[in-house]
Structure 1
Amino acid sequence: MIDLRMLALAGAAWAGAGLGRWLGWWVVLAVGVAVVGLWALRRRMGSTAARTAFGALLVVAAVGTVTVLRVDQVGHGPVAALAADGAAVRVVGTVRSDPREVSGRYGDLVVTRLELRAVTGRGASYATAAPVLVIGDADWLDVPLGSRVEAAGRLGRADDDDLAGVLSARGPPEVVAEPDLWWRGAAAVRGSIRDAVAHRPADQRALVPALVDGDDAGLDDGLADDFRITGLTHLLAVSGTNLTLVVGFLLVLARWAGLRGRALLVVGALGIVGFVLLARTEPSVLRAAVMGTVALLAMGADGRRRGARALGVAVVVLLLVQPGLAVQPGFALSVLATAGIVLLAPGWRDAMMRWLPRWVAEAIAVPSAAQLACTPVVAGLSGQVSLVAVAANLAAALAVGPATVLGLGAGLVGLVVPVAGRLLGTLAAWCVAWIIAVATRGAALPTAALDWGSGALALGVLSVLVVVIALAGPFVLRHPVTGVGCCLLLALVVVVRPPSPGWPPPGWVLVACDVGQGDALVLNAGPGAAVVVDSGPEPAAADRCLDRLGVDTVPLVVLTHFHADHVDGLSGVVDGRTVGAVETTTLRDPPGGVREVESVAGSAGLTPAPTPYGATRRVGAVTLQALWPPPGAPTTGPGDGSTANEASVVLLAEVGGIRILLTGDIEPEGQEALARSLPGLQVDVLKVPHHGSRYQDEPWLLSLGARVALVSVGADNDYGHPADATLEPLEDAGTRVLRTDLEGDLAVVSDDGELATVTR
């Protein structure tokens, strides 16, 4: 029997962290009173349940207290006060995460985390210990982890409760102390791993470091999305699986060398410490290390009972040390996956052992139990339930172990003998090529993931289904007929695309895809064909929208400008489809978006070209004319948002007798110029510029006489889109306004020349 008392204490620790974060000292006071009351009654507390309840309250009080102190330290210290004032400061701190280049809305940025030791601002200096996020320029890319730096900038508020502020850095940092020896050693091994696979194709040279130590820099967004759809995302980040494989391999070597008893414990402990240094001592890495240790215990003798106890202890200790983990999705996924392996997998394995060999039953039970336990949280984050995750994890498992061990070996050996390191790196890359094939082929299946939703009702129903499956699993899997039958039924659902009743609607001419905060518009060019204007911020969302419309041929893709919310989903458009051409605006800015488009288009054998101004073209059933930008428009820019927006391609399209104006993110100045150059322009459908931003030339928008206005916008976005000041005048003029954040995919339909709309 499993002793659930430590798991109950783990739940209490989680509750204490949450209550402490949201209710503050009140919850600590209330629980403290309850603990004192129970202590006064301790002589009457003879039952195990009563003692467990007392322990649970004690844990709630302890973790709640730590959480309140941590929140108070971060949110009410001198750094937070300076951030609230937007103060210009000079800081000294230690770099706690690898600087990473990201594509911002207005250009490329570098982000990293600093643990501040001193801050000077508003005429005063403070010694402190507060974490901040740094946003800087390319000068920060070369700052090594663990180094102490001095920098200047302006502090601002942070959305994350575990950060005291956000430092917008001015100028390069000054390194005042180099990293310690162990950090330099870990950096050397990470660099050696990258060097060992530098000669391999891009996906392979990005995935090997991600698999070994969580270094996913350079990983293609489209590939990352395929990993998410197939439930393989845990391979792209540091997880307990990484530690289990690395330390397990070290223990095998130690046994082969004749070590036993406490010597093995020392090897295991050194392996865990080395793994943490290699993968970085961030909270997610510490969490993964602890969960990996729990998995190692669960693999030993009496693993189910010991694993349950170890899991409970791990959660309590982690939340006492890092209470902020309680609200991190990664922590919840790690705990749930480990709990599934510890609590569910043994019963499922034993049931299947009635008709399968033990190793086969265990190979199926472990990923199935872990995936099932994580399903509600994954659905809450993505709105999807992966139907291929178990099969994909089973298929990928063949190569995960060898790839991880060979990749680590390549890094270590490459420090001494680079040629041998490259040889091992090549073998590791061959292994990850199989994993990549599993992810891409699995994600391409018709029903690889089921759109479930993330609302309370949807998640409640899903949680009930998960509990039912968990309880029924041993009974269903006990017999080969029911076990194999369930597998065949799932395979049939995945391979055969289910119909979408009523979608796409007959006679559709335009669909504005619900891709979140971004644009992705589809013009019907004929059966199975479409012209795509912008691709949204995520490949999967664009891919799903085109799948729902039955589009397998895209003769033309037009990207209005190079901001991420218009181009980052391009790989979802080109993957698995025949694409004829990719056209863009003339302004090649921001650079990150330009590189993304050129990379994705190049992988499809295409070269992006500027959209020809003024020419009227027919692409299938679509007639197109580019109205903006005019000839002679600039081709380079400063990297800010407004300049790129202003260069958006504006298209006048006609499909099925419906005139459509697609405006990208063009700014009021460009709208005014269009009003002067094309007086009297009239359209049936208007794609409202810039997601309904309040910055519009209202007279021009109203002069178009559109009967329908489409707003492509993400729910609860941070930009205040769409603005009531933009939408209300359109509605007052009799225009029907539809929004993707409220109504999902928006379709414009031509019914014998009459205009209609349908939403999904």
Structure 2
Amino acid sequence: MSGAPARWSWLDLRLVPAAATVWAGTLLAPLVGVPVLAAAVPAAVGTALLVARRRRSAGSVVLLVVLAALAVTAASAAVREAARAASPLAGAAEGRRTVELVLELDGDPAAVRGAGPPRVVVEATAAVLEDGATRTRLDDAVVLFGPADEWRGLLPGQVVRVRAAVSPASADEGLVARLSARAPPVLLGEPSRVQRAAGGLREGLRDTAVRVLGPQAGGLLPGLAVGDTTAMDPVLVEDFRRAGLAHLTAVSGANVAIVLAGVLAPLRRRAVDRRVQALVALAALAGFVVLARPSASVVRAAAMGAVTLLALATGRSRAAVPALGGAVVVLLLADPRLARDAGFALSVAATAAIVLLAPGWSRRLRGRGWPQLPADAVAVAAAAGLATAPLVAGLSGLVSPVSLPVNLLAAPAVAPATVLGLLAALAVPVLPPLGEALVWAAGWPVRWLVAVAQGAAALPDAATGWPAGVRGAVLLTVLLVAAGWLLWRFPRARAPAVAALVGAVVLGWPLRQAARGWPPEDTVVVACDVGQGDALVLPTAPGEGLLVDAGPDVGPVDRCLDRLGIDTLPLVLLTHLDADHAGGLAGALSGRAVGVVATGTLSPAEDRVARLDDAVRRAGAQRAVLVPGDRRTVGSATVEVLAPPPETATAAQPANDLSLVVRVTQRGVRVLLTGDLSGAAEARIVARGVDLRADVLKVPHHGSADADRGFFAATGARVALVSVGAGNSYGHPAPRVLSWLAQDGVRVHRTDTDGDVAVAGDAAAWGVAVRGPGEGGSAAGGAGATAEPAVPLRGPSGTSVPRATMPGWLQHPPRRPPACAPWWGRRSCCAPAPSRPCGPRCSSATPTPSCTSWPRRGSRSASSPTCWPPRCSARTGWWW
């Protein structure tokens, strides 16, 4: 840029180093402490002075910009951290005291998932601290958790007084403290007129859309138009996530661009002065931010739009990259919490890719004969998808291979739905009939989006597991960069690469689905990998099954039922109504024929029955309450209810202790399902003399240490299933429980390490197969590809008995000393129950060895001897 005054071009990158420096400095500031930050300021300034004295060059200018950004970032971070440490609220948090606070809400209360009653979280600013007789004015950022019934419906800007327990927040959260409400909020005034008006517009659009379009399309329209997803069907939310369309319900740059284009188009046609255009558009932009709520992506897009409007008003050419860089710098300095916000990072990455990559890709496509509209659509979708794929993979542990074509199919419907939704939101309070007509018109593109998302989510491997966290994001970035470089460096490889990709989709996908071998033949029960929760399925007929609990989220249980081919649920049992057992019920019921949803006798204080009844009614099912002695037959399964007795269901009893306990028998294999019983409740059941004998035990309460060993012994189970989430913070399963089970000769299978676990076979020969941890609910890091399917082997009675996956070189039955039964279908040699040590010998003449020395010394597997616990119990394969 020399000679004439330089004008910004499309690739003006002068603010990119500054934005990167501010972002990196903001991320690192909480880790280094105030002294280091304070020392960094004079060091950066001194270095900048030395550089400025030398001859000017492009490199020195860039370095000066970086040093200036570093000095400003370090100075603001040092001031902020010092103020945070000196805050009286931080002292109260260190002592974990309960205090009175006056808060100004910064956003809408948002629902949080978890066990127990519904709760919400809301960001706020603490204005006053009342600790005893001391009253202190504050300006501290906090986050508050409270009961949903007390906080739902409050608006941003609302000032409330609340009594709350204060706990420390980590420095990287950008908060002074975390609050947990200990009393309902006391309103100290109404929110501003602007916020009341925005809240009324959002509520009016939401209610009208649901009434006119129904729950699915009606819940989606407010999300597309103003980012209000409170009415969205949770199953549809999961479908959008798996299809790679979740960004449509997060208001971002696309929505801002649509608003500005709609405002500026008529002004330009009338040749209105550009300064008037900018002022009108700026007012519309401010109103849209208030209506859509200032989330990270909205704020980023609005800041970039404001910079662009400033360029319009001053007559400067409008360049996207400088606008984006300036927006990032200003926003991060104003609100450092955005540096760790996933939505902000995704928004910036997508915008940068669209403005840097999409124009060139579009030109290349047009040069090959593509029409402009399809070329632009493909280029924008591909650029945004590739740029955000590593972030999405790291955040969710999923990669969506169908994201690009699905976004292309959805793109034509997004703008009409957004525009009509915004017009409807403005029209409903003024002219309700016009608002309803606009909502009806918006329903057509919205229904198309629903159909696209549902169809894509139903495809096999629509979302493939991937390692989560930084490792997964870096790995996918390296792979994408390497593949892009190879295709750019070797043009002749492009055609074979496209052919290989098409072949993998057309041939590899169907072959993979056919070769998975899941579920195993003659499946008795499957413990689904749904994370920290329970969901067990007992297939009872082709396409039909019995479901016991539904896990914490709608997605994992829905996918597990799909993998098993279950589209009819004659009976659904909910052991109790905690979120980790009933939170995913909507995902299980949606799109399936449902007969009866049953629970045990619930406590009279149970306040979640109304929501359960509503979900059952929407599914077209019936509600039932089962008591001990009840028996039900569902296909090939017989259900016996063992607990709880109705007389124990008092208001004082915890929900866990009132868990429905049932024994289900299929083809002679007995499965005991126990909910979340505590040790005391287990002991009471044993004391009542309840017959608990079973072959398979679902370990109560995810293997909690609060357990009764006598209960385990009374079952006489040979296999135990633990439904538990990977890396859970509860310490489940407890080492003590695992030790008890091992001492009783019980083989333990866990969903956090094994993924879906299936018990298959019949009374003559049955065994256990595992699917392997994948993109189910528990994988914190995601195991990625689907595990090898269980290999069906022939047992003594000729039935198919699956065994766990083993290396290919160990597929043939090894030579080992004879025992009570062949190794592939090993059965107990002892009495049916209770399970206890067999003594020195089993019923056969040959005792079960504790460890064999097969294979011969020197062979490739000699370092991995085959071991059997010294008890007679069910064994279905090698134990390594």
TM-score by length of 2: 0.78
Aligned residue among 558, 565, 570 for 2:585: 570
Map Cα deviations across residues 238-290 of structure 1 (whole Å, 9 max, x no partner). 22222111122111132244424222211221122111111223545323423
Match of 1:678 in 2: 689
1:696 corresponding residue in structure 2? 707
Task: Provide the residue aligned with 1:191 in structure 2.
Answer: 203
**Is 1:144 paired with 2:155?**
yes
Match of 1:607 among 622, 625, 649: 622
* Counterpart in the other structure of 1:278: 291
The structure-2 alpha-carbon separation of the partners of 1:368 and 1:81, relative to structure 1 and needing over 3 Å to count, comes to same
Distance of aligned partners of 1:217 and 1:458 in 2 relative to their CA distance in 1, 3 Å threshold: closer
Note if 1:60 corresponds to 2:73. no
d(CA) in 1 for partners of 2:269 and 2:599? 60
Q: Distance between the aligned counterparts of 2:767 and 2:497, measured in 1?
A: 51
- Single out whichever of 131-140 and 511-520 deviates more from structure 2: 131-140
**Aligned equivalent of 1:165:** 177
**Deviation of the 1:597 alpha carbon:** 4.1
- For 1:106, give the aligned amino acid: G
Distance 1:692 1:324 in 2: 37
Q: Confirm or deny: 8 A CA contact 1:151 1:174 kept in the other structure.
A: yes
Further displaced range: 615-624 or 430-439: 615-624
The answer for the alignment partner of 1:367 in structure 2 is 381
Distance change in 2, residues 1:463/1:142 (3 Å): closer
Please list the CA deviations of residues 218-237 of structure 1 after superposition, one character each: whole Å capped at 9, or x if unmatched. 22211111111112212222
What is the deviation of 1:514? 1.5
| TM-score for both structures, normalised by structure 1 | 0.90
Closer, same or farther: CA 92–34 of 1 in aligned 2, 3 Å: closer
Correspondent of 1:618 among 633, 639, 658: 633
The 1-side partners of 2:92 and 2:454 are apart by 47
The Cα offsets for residues 457-495 of structure 1, whole Å up to 9 and x where unpaired, read as 544432123224555778999999889868855864798
Between stretches 576-585 and 681-690, larger displacement belongs to: 576-585
Corresponding residue of 1:24 = 33
Q: How does 1:8-23 map to 2 (within 5 A)?
A: 8-23=17-32
Q: Name the CA distance, whole Å, in 1 between partners of 2:490 and 2:584.
A: 41
User: 2:114·2:580 contact (CA, 8 Å) conserved in 1?
Assistant: no
Contact 1:476 1:482 in 2 (8 A): no
Counterpart contact for 2:616–2:622, Cα < 8 Å: yes
Structure-1 residue corresponding to 2:861: none
User: Max radius of gyration: which structure?
Assistant: 2
Rate the CA distance shift 1:543–1:414 in 2: closer, same or farther, 3 A.
closer
Residue 112 of structure 1 corresponds to 122
> Which stretch of the first structure deviates more once superposed, 449-458 or 371-380?
449-458
> Percent identity of the aligned residues?
41
Query: C-alpha separation between the residues in 2 aligned to 1:109 and 1:66?
Result: 34
* Matches of 2:44 and 2:179, distance apart in 1: 42
Asked whether the 8 Å contact 1:748–1:755 carries over to 2, the reply is yes
Residues 143 and 178 in structure 2, CA contact (< 8 A), matched pair in contact too: yes
8 Å CA contact 2:116, 2:579 repeated in 1: no
Of Structure 1 and Structure 2, which has the larger fraction of its residues in helix? 1
Which of 495, 518, 528 matches 1:513? 528
Matched, 1:337 2:350: yes
1:461 is aligned with what amino acid?
L
Tell me the SS of whatever aligns to 2:173.
coil
Look up the SS of the partner of 1:435 in the other structure.
helix
Q: 1:408 to 1:590 in 2, by over 3 A?
A: farther
Q: Which residue of 1 aligns with 2:552?
A: 537
Question: Structure 1 stretch 271-280 or stretch 250-259: which is displaced more?
Answer: 250-259
Pairs within 5 Å for 1:382-461 = 382-454=396-468, 458-461=472-475
Structure 2 CA distance, aligned partners of 1:731 and 1:260? 81
Say which is worse superposed, 49-58 or 400-409, in terms of deviation. 49-58
Q: Which residue of 2 aligns with 1:351?
A: 364
Could you say if the C-alpha distance between residues 266 and 491 of structure 1 is closer, same or farther in structure 2, counting changes exceeding 3 Å?
Answer: farther
Contact 2:627 2:643 in 1 (8 A): no
Letter in 1 for 2:363: D
Q: Is 2:756 aligned against 1:745?
A: yes
Specify the SS of the correspondent of 1:433.
Answer: helix
- Cα distance in 1 for residues equivalent to 2:651 and 2:615: 22
In structure 2, the residue matched to 1:92 is 102
Helix, strand or coil for the counterpart of 1:535? coil
Contact persistence 2:48–2:67 (CA under 8 A): no
Query: Does the 8 A contact of 1:555 with 1:579 survive in 2?
Result: yes
Aligned-partner Cα distance in 2 for 1:197–1:547: 30
Describe the shift of the 1:212–1:283 C-alpha distance in structure 2 as closer, same or farther (beyond 3 A). Answer: same
**CA offset at residue 129 of structure 1?**
0.6
RMSD: 3.5
1:130 aligns with 2:144: no
Partner of 1:549: 564
Q: Structure 2 vs 1, CA of residues 484 and 589 (structure 1 numbering), >3 Å: closer, same or farther?
A: farther
Give the drift of 1:690: 1.2
The aligned runs of 1:730-741 (5 Å cut-off) are 730-741=741-752
Query: Separation in 2 of the partners of 1:140 and 1:758?
Result: 44
Compare relative contact order (CA 8 Å, sep 6+) and give the higher one, 1 or 2. 1
> Aligned partners of 1:674 and 1:304: how far apart in 2?
78
Show structure 2 runs of 5+ residues with no match: 1-9, 773-880
| Partner Cα separation in structure 1 for residue 297 and residue 287 of structure 2 | 16
The superposition leaves residues 326-374 of structure 1 with CA deviations (integer Å, 9 ceiling, x where unpaired) of 1111111111111121122112211211221011110111122111111
What is the rounded CA distance, in whole Å, between the counterparts of 1:592 and 1:248 in structure 2?
48
Kindly state the Cα deviation for residue 127 of structure 1 after the two structures are TM-superposed.
1.0
- Judge which range, 615-624 or 419-428, deviates more: 615-624
Check conservation: 2:549, 2:574, Cα contact below 8 A.
yes
